[in-house]
């Protein structure tokens, strides 16, 4: 890092918000994935969009890489500054700018954490629905189009974004979209930036759609003899046009881990977590009855929807911790996670393929997923020095992705591409589409300063 860049950063932000300390650089060197850490040259904490613009202008002039940092909770190395340079930490830009309560909308700075934001919104009986496990920042959620258990009902992050403020690679500040819920006014810049992992521009502010907090929720656990039966039941529930709030698949081990931690007793076995939510008890009871019938027709051996509100709450809170809990069960292992998503009719075949491959390749893993979305998340564990096992894990990941693509699905349902899935991009989208994406990148970021090394292999 040239000293004049550092000097100018300090002149923009003052000394206190520019750090080259080892500790600060270390804290911005790795996300929650297990990819190798890379320390940035400098970490900065802007407080305004104007400051972000000045930083990016400077970086563009000196061709210094710039990587945005929200909460560091990404899972594919998306926020690792692989080419070093400047990390922009958005944690000082965490304000709720404007609550438009009557419009069910909120305008926030990119650095606000979604759980913190929802805590404030809950006082108004509103919430932002996309719910990844970790307490991600809104900017990070938009960058990777994050999703979670309740996406099946409410959509993923990008479907709940109406407008953005974005700093371009040349430092220009662009406003996209509007607060109208219908927009047919020129190119959809909002959705171009959303999901682009900070490689086309840096989101500094966003206007989000909110939902009223449903007055009632009911949770059920459905225990099956095998995972395949769960997959078939889920495909049947969705194919019937039912509208659950969540349908989460857990293998035996993951279910046990979750329920033990939530202090809820259930029979051991592959488990489907079901939630319905709404304001009408009768509607939800009816839906849950139908869900039970479908589950029992497909091999469910124990269906329980008698949980208290508190127990349900604990179950869903613990579901969000599951990655942390599972990783903790495999101390001193490395891990990788897959995130394929397929059309729901193909979910049983996908699950069947995974079970087969896991057994053939002797893989140690958790099998879980946002089953209602056709989204399978396999956490794979291997000893750091066991090269063969690491190779098998990579091979499994490749096989699973290839299968998902053949079934009409994607290598990335909700974690983005980062560095972990760059190699599948051509296979999924074809050369023509990847070339087009690269042309867009070249147009918007000709010096390749914005989160370089992500999404594309070269």
Q: Contacts with a copy of itself in 307-336 (CB under 8 A)?
A: none
Nearer to a copy of itself, 178 or 268 (CB): 178
Q: Contacts with a copy of itself in 27-86 (CB under 8 A)?
A: none
Q: Which stretch binds a copy of itself (CB under 8 A): 16-24, 115-123, 244-252, 403-411?
A: 403-411
Q: Which stretch binds a copy of itself (CB under 8 A): 8-16, 18-26, 260-268, 432-440?
A: 432-440
Cα angle vertex 32, ends 28, 33, to 5°?
Answer: 110
Nearer to a copy of itself, 390 or 426 (CB): 426
Q: Which stretch binds a copy of itself (CB under 8 A): 109-117, 193-201, 305-313, 356-364?
A: 193-201
Q: Contacts with a copy of itself in 97-136 (CB under 8 A)?
A: 100-105
Q: Contacts with a copy of itself in 216-245 (CB under 8 A)?
A: 235, 238-239, 241
DSSP 8-state symbol, 339: B
3-state secondary structure of 302: strand
The reply on whether position 95 binds a copy of itself by CB under 8 A is no
Q: Contacts with a copy of itself in 363-382 (CB under 8 A)?
A: 370, 373-375
The reply on whether position 288 binds a copy of itself by CB under 8 A is no
Concatenating the DSSP letter of every residue in 79-100 gives: T--TT-SEEEEGGG---EEEEE
The CA distance from 147 to 70, in Å, is 16
Distances (CA, A) of 148 to 51, 153, 216, 432: 32, 10, 20, 31
Q: How far is the CB of 4 from a copy of itself (least distance, A)?
A: 28
Give me the residue label for tokens 């210094």: 64
3-state secondary structure of 353: helix
Q: Which of 2, 26, 172, 306 binds a copy of itself (CB under 8 A)?
A: 172
Q: Which of 345, 352, 364, 398 binds a copy of itself (CB under 8 A)?
A: 345
According to DSSP, the residues that pair with 59 across neighbouring strands are none
Q: Which of 61, 92, 115, 179 binds a copy of itself (CB under 8 A)?
A: 179
Q: Which stretch binds a copy of itself (CB under 8 A): 44-52, 183-191, 305-313, 318-326?
A: 183-191
DSSP 8-state symbol, 158: G
The reply on whether position 457 binds a copy of itself by CB under 8 A is no
Q: What share of the chain is helix, strand, coil (3-state, %, to 5)?
A: 40, 20, 35
Tokens for 67, please give them: 């990587």
3-state secondary structure of 422: helix
CB 419 within 8 A of CB 144: no
Pairing verdict, β 375-382 and 271-278: unpaired
Nearer to a copy of itself, 285 or 296 (CB): 285
Q: Contacts with a copy of itself in 262-281 (CB under 8 A)?
A: 280
């Amino acid at each position: 890092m040239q000293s004049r860049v550092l000097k100018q950063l300090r002149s923009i932000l003052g000394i206190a918000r520019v750090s080259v300390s080892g500790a600060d650089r270390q804290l911005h060197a790795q996300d929650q994935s297990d990819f190798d850490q890379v320390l940035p040259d400098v970490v900065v904490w802007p407080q305004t969009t104007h400051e972000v613009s000045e930083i990016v202008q400077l970086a563009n002039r000196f061709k210094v890489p710039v990587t945005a940092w929200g909460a560091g909770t990404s899972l594919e190395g998306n926020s690792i500054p692989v080419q070093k340079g400047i990390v922009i930490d958005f944690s000082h830009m965490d304000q709720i700018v404007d609550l438009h309560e009557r419009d069910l909308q909120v305008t926030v700075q990119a650095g606000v954490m979604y759980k913190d934001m929802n805590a404030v919104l809950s006082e108004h009986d509103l919430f932002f629905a996309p719910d990844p496990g970790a307490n991600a920042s809104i900017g990070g959620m938009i960058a990777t189009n994050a999703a979670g258990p309740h996406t099946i009902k409410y959509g993923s992050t990008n479907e709940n974004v109406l407008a953005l403020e974005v700093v371009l690679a040349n430092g220009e500040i662009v406003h996209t979209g509007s607060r109208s819920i219908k927009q047919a006014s020129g190119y959809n810049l909002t959705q171009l930036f959303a999901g682009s992992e900070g490689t086309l521009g840096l989101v500094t502010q966003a206007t989000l759609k909110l939902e009223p907090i449903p007055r009632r929720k009911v949770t059920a656990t459905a225990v099956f003899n095998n995972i395949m039966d769960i997959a078939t039941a889920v495909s049947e529930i969705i194919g019937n046009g039912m509208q659950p709030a969540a349908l989460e698949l857990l293998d035996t081990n993951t279910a046990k881990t979750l329920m033990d931690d939530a202090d809820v007793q259930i029979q051991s076995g592959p488990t489907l977590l079901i939630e319905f939510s709404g304001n009408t008890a009768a509607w939800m009871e009816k839906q849950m009855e139908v869900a039970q019938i479908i589950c029992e027709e497909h091999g469910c051996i124990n269906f329980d929807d008698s949980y208290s509100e508190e127990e349900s709450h604990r179950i869903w809170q613990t579901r969000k911790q599951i990655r942390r809990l599972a990783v903790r069960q495999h101390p001193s292992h490395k891990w990788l996670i897959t995130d394929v998503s397929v059309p729901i009719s193909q979910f049983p075949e996908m699950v069947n393929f995974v079970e087969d491959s896991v057994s053939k390749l002797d893989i140690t893993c958790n099998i879980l997923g946002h089953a209602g979305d056709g989204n399978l998340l396999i956490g794979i564990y291997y000893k750091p020095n066991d090269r063969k096992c690491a190779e098998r894990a990579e091979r499994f990941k490749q096989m699973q992705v290839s299968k998902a693509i053949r079934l009409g699905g994607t290598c990335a349902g909700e974690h983005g591409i980062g560095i972990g899935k760059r190699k599948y991009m051509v296979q999924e989208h074809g050369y023509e589409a990847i070339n087009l994406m690269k042309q867009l990148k070249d147009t918007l970021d000709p010096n390749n300063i914005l989160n370089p090394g992500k999404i594309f292999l070269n």
